[in-house]
Amino acid sequence: MYQNRVLSVGAEFPAFSKKAVVSLERDQEFRTITHQEHRDNGQWLVMFWWPKDFTFVCPTEIAEFNKNYDEFRDRDCQLIGASTDSEFVHAAWRRDHDDLRGLRFPMLADTSKSLAEELGILDAEEKVAYRVTFIVDPQGIIQWVSVNGLSVGRNVAEVLRVLDALQTDELCPCNWKKGEATLAV
């Protein structure tokens, strides 16, 4: 029986260099993205994965991350979306779907599935990524992982809440929100 071994909190996020769709402007659609970019800039990283392009739940999540793009940027966080589809499929989907045309973050293409495999997030039967979100600190260490099955969308507000809590570097109680008191030790 196949078992996922999802990389978790405390592990170093794997090295990668992948093509991504960064624009719909002719001859500027693609750029190579690496694991080192956020570290070189002293930024946090949120990388979220979806199973397949041209599906139904995925664009709702991608659009919601895009609506909150400024929130991530204000937290000095690089936002990257990813799937195992190619950069050409990503570009076609962005052109085809109204909610995806104006994306402000890269859509990473892991066509070799090497990064998804190293992260331990591939569905055993379909060999597509689960709906997984990683929060990685500026040193490249995973600080939070959330994994959803293929049919359930995630909550972007919760990703922001957890990012806020991690950035306090303090003890944050259940349901803590930015601006509330942290716990004293």
Task: Supply the residues annotated as catalytic.
Answer: 58
d(CA 22, CA 136): 21
3-state secondary structure labels for all residues of 124-156 = CCCCCECEEEEEECCCCEEEEEEEECCCCCCCH
Phi, psi of 65 (to 5 degrees): -60, -40
36 Cβ contact partners less than 8 Å away, ≥ 6 residues apart: 15
